Amino acid sequence: MAKTIFIENNVFEHFRTKKILNIIKARNIIRINHYGEIFNRNKQNFRIQKDSLNYIIAAKKNNLVIPIPPSTTSVKGFYFSHMYNCIYDCDYCFLQGHFNSAYHVYFINYEDFGKAISNESMKTKTKIWFFSGYDCDSLASEKITGFAEYFVPFFSKLQNCMLEIRTKSSRTTELLKIKPNSNVVCAFSLNPQNLIDLFEKGTPNLSSRIQSIKLLSENGWKIGLRFDPLILTEASKEDYLELFELAVNCIPKSNIHSVSLGSLRLSESHHKKMVKNDMQNRLLLDNRYSYKEKLWQPDHKIRDVETQLSEHLKKLIPQSSIFLSE
Amino acid sequence: MYYDFNLVIVIAHVGEARAIFDLDEFKEITNSSFLAFRKHKIIIIISGEGRFRAAGAVSFAKALCEHKIIFWLNIGCVGHRDFQIGTVVQAGKIHDQELNRSWYPSTPFKKSIPVVEVNTYAKPAENYPNNVFYDMEASGFIELAQINSIPEQLAVVKVVTDNDSKPIQHLSINEIEMSIKKERNVIQSLVTDYLVKAAVIAESIKPISLPWWLRTVKFTVTQRNEVKRLINNYRVKFKDQKLPFLRILKNAPTRKILSQIKREWNREGN
Ligand code: SF4
């Protein structure tokens, strides 16, 4: 199928646009005024579009950095998105319920993001976290976006800011060319291999993610381990204990910056939209999950096992900070 | 077995339609306000020239295909200052010059044909100042067709019939039709391609209908949607097994019926 790249007029001549076009090599280019004309259209089906992807290159004008609601984390922070959507296709991915379209949007005005980040950093002396990879996988498209190439050096200049790059990618080529710095944490989402096979379509397998973690840590990168989302309906507590051992033992404990565990949870509205778009998604129909306080979340039996897992991790790496999503 | 759908093809002139399809193999739809033909899932509507007529043809087709999922295709001619005559293109963007509005149909064809911007004008183009394709119907077609459709149900295919060296004013209808006829095989293969894709999409967006024994229950809209959700959950969990029949108490409140369904269908799973 012919892939089309829609490009906003204001970034048509931008050097990053040219770089992306060089890599994607799509021949069909359509000029647009604003990415929302296509991306935010009402009647779209995310699942169907996932099979016939197109791309959009745009500049993000508003909400370049967005405060993280205090209820979701204990650290003060912001998230920012240089990209919407993802090359992978996880069954539980909330983006399916969050966006109307599955097209990949690349926001290329990194300098504007940089200004917004600097502005926030100047407002306080305390440490602020910036999270990328909320609306995409931060590293999976690095070859196209050059995101880390720009932002890792950028954060090295900011004293009180930390950047978390969240990924499932095992691609290290670009990162290994950049000098790591102590303000940046590479956080890898991990799950047992049977869950990767079942629910994380297109993602690298567990052993290649572990290899990448090892390689990056050997090269001085701070590593975050994210056991998120825990899917205890399809994997057992023992599967996770095995995974913890594997991940924790592959790198020196001093290189582990932090570890977190996250429940499989979705907002009620995202869950409903995801089921509507993909009526064949078994994971979203599991009886052990239900709506409570506007969230689709696991029952107390699953939550209990999650707490036990978090306790176990604390014993395994007592010196590291461990978070379990509330 | 795929869910039933129609592929509606809107073409301005019957000569253009004849240049692409063997209309003798189609059955004419009589007593209708537009000249129209049907063969299996394909319906061809001859709209006449201009965006208003194209929009009229779409409304007519909507009434004709009530209750079915419709896939839309506009086939026609375009002009471009320097594209070769006979080039087949698909629209990735349609812009109406008068309304200053744009639409973005899908580009569903496996065959690699250029994706371009088509601009719709009220009059035939006398010259081609911009690097876009000039037509007279696409915006009228898509403005109406996109209502209640996802972008993947909309496509526009055009053949370049005029350009700077052969502007439209100097062409006879015969010459235009000949340019289209030369691309007959390409266009027919695109239609086949679209039909295959449409069958898959129709299957995934088909509406869920209630079994006969629930159809007469006077559910509220919310309750009806909840029943549909339960039907879908049941099908996914039990791999398309037939829904088990439930004995519903006559005159029972709908709330109770809904709880009964939830209870029984969950039990089936235990
Ligand atoms: S890797 Fe993350 S962003 Fe990508 S599909 Fe999976 S959950 Fe979504």
- The strand pairing partners of B71, in sequence order, are B7
Count, in order, helices (H) and strands (E) of chain A: 12, 18
Continuous H helices in chain A: 15-24, 36-39, 46-50, 95-98, 110-122, 142-145, 147-156, 193-199, 206-218, 237-249, 268-277, 300-316
CA of A151 to the centre of ligand 1 (A): 21
Residue A254's pLDDT is 85
Q: From first to last of the 270 residues of chain B, give the pLDDT tens digit.
A: 456 899 999 999 999 999 999 999 999 999 889 999 999 999 999 999 999 999 999 999 999 998 899 999 999 999 999 999 999 999 999 999 999 999 999 999 888 899 999 999 999 988 899 999 999 999 999 999 999 999 999 999 999 999 999 988 888 889 999 999 999 999 999 999 999 999 999 988 888 888 888 888 889 988 888 888 888 888 777 776 778 888 877 778 999 999 888 888 876 554
CB < 8 Å from B in window 58-87 of A: none
Label residue A130 by pLDDT band (50, 70, 90): very high
Q: Are B43 and B6 in contact (CB under 8 A)?
A: yes
User: Closest partner residue to A2 among B102, B112, B269, by Cβ?
Assistant: B112
Place of tokens 């005559």: B85
Angle, CA of A150, A153 and A154, to the nearest 5°:
75
CB < 8 Å from A in window 36-95 of B: 90, 92-93
Nearest to B233 by CA among B256, B262, B260, B259: B262
pLDDT in tens, A205-257: 999 999 999 999 999 999 999 999 999 998 999 999 999 999 999 988 888 99
User: B269 CB contacts (<8 Å, ≥6 apart)?
Assistant: A287, B237, B238
pLDDT of residue A325 exceeding 70, the answer is no
More confident residue, A7 or A324: A7
Structure tokens at A112: 């504007």
What are the sequence ranges of the domains in chain B?
6-205, 212-268
Q: Is B191 helix (H, G, I), strand (E, B) or coil?
A: helix
Count, in order, helices (H) and strands (E) of chain B: 8, 10
More confident residue, A322 or B163: B163
Q: What is the CATH number of the domain that holds A84?
A: 3.80.30.30
Separation CA B33–CA B13 (nearest Å)? 15
**Average pLDDT, rounded, for chain A:** 92
Angle, CA of B261, B262 and B265, to the nearest 5°:
75
Burial class (CB in 10 A: 0-12, 13-18, 19+), A72: exposed
pLDDT in tens, A61-93: 999 999 998 765 567 799 999 999 999 999 999
Chain B residues inside the 8 Å CB shell of A288: none
Residue of A12, A52, A274, A275 to mutate, interface with B, max B Cβ within 10 Å: A52
A254 contacts chain B (CB < 8 A):
no
CA of A239 to the centre of ligand 1 (A): 21
Identify the weakest region by mean pLDDT among A177-181, A293-297, A305-309, B233-237: B233-237
B119 contacts chain A (CB < 8 A):
no
A42 contacts chain B (CB < 8 A):
no
Chain B CA closest to residue A45: B150
ipTM: 0.88
pLDDT of residue A276 exceeding 90, the answer is no
Q: How many distinct structural domains can be found in chain A?
A: 1
Chain B residues inside the 8 Å CB shell of A1: 107-110
Separation CA B42–CA B71 (nearest Å)? 10
More confident residue, A119 or B265: A119
The answer to whether the Cβ–Cβ distance between B149 and A44 falls below 8 Å is no
Separation CA A235–CA A198 (nearest Å)? 10
CA of A90 to the centre of ligand 1 (A): 6
The number of angstroms, rounded, from the C-alpha of B77 to the middle of its chain's C-alpha atoms is 19
The answer to whether the Cβ–Cβ distance between A31 and B117 falls below 8 Å is yes
Residue B97's pLDDT is 94
Separation CA B135–CA B94 (nearest Å)? 10
Q: Are A151 and A130 in contact (CB under 8 A)?
A: no
**Nearest CA distance, A40 vs chain B (angstrom):** 12
Say which amino acid occupies A263.
S
pLDDT in tens, A176-206: 999 999 999 999 999 999 999 999 999 999 9
The answer to whether the Cβ–Cβ distance between A1 and B148 falls below 8 Å is no
Is the distance from the beta carbon of residue A139 to the nearest atom of ligand 1 less than 6 Å? no
The answer to whether the Cβ–Cβ distance between B102 and A37 falls below 8 Å is yes
Which of A47, A95, A264 gets mutated to test ligand 1 (max ligand atoms within 8 A of its CB)?
A95
Residue B270's pLDDT is 43
Is the distance from the beta carbon of residue A136 to the nearest atom of ligand 1 less than 6 Å? yes
Residue B20's pLDDT is 97
Separation CA A55–CA A62 (nearest Å)? 20
The answer to whether the Cβ–Cβ distance between A28 and B110 falls below 8 Å is no
User: What average pLDDT does the segment A247-272 reach?
Assistant: 91
A280 contacts chain B (CB < 8 A):
yes
Chain B residues inside the 8 Å CB shell of A5: none
Q: Which residue range forms the structural domain that includes residue A264?
A: 2-324
May I ask the CATH architecture of the domain B6-205?
Answer: 3-Layer(aba) Sandwich (3.40)
Instruction: Tell me the pTM.
Output: 0.91
Q: Is B194 helix (H, G, I), strand (E, B) or coil?
A: helix
DSSP state of B217: S
CA of A309 to the centre of ligand 1 (A): 23
User: Closest partner residue to A30 among B110, B117, B151, by Cβ?
Assistant: B117
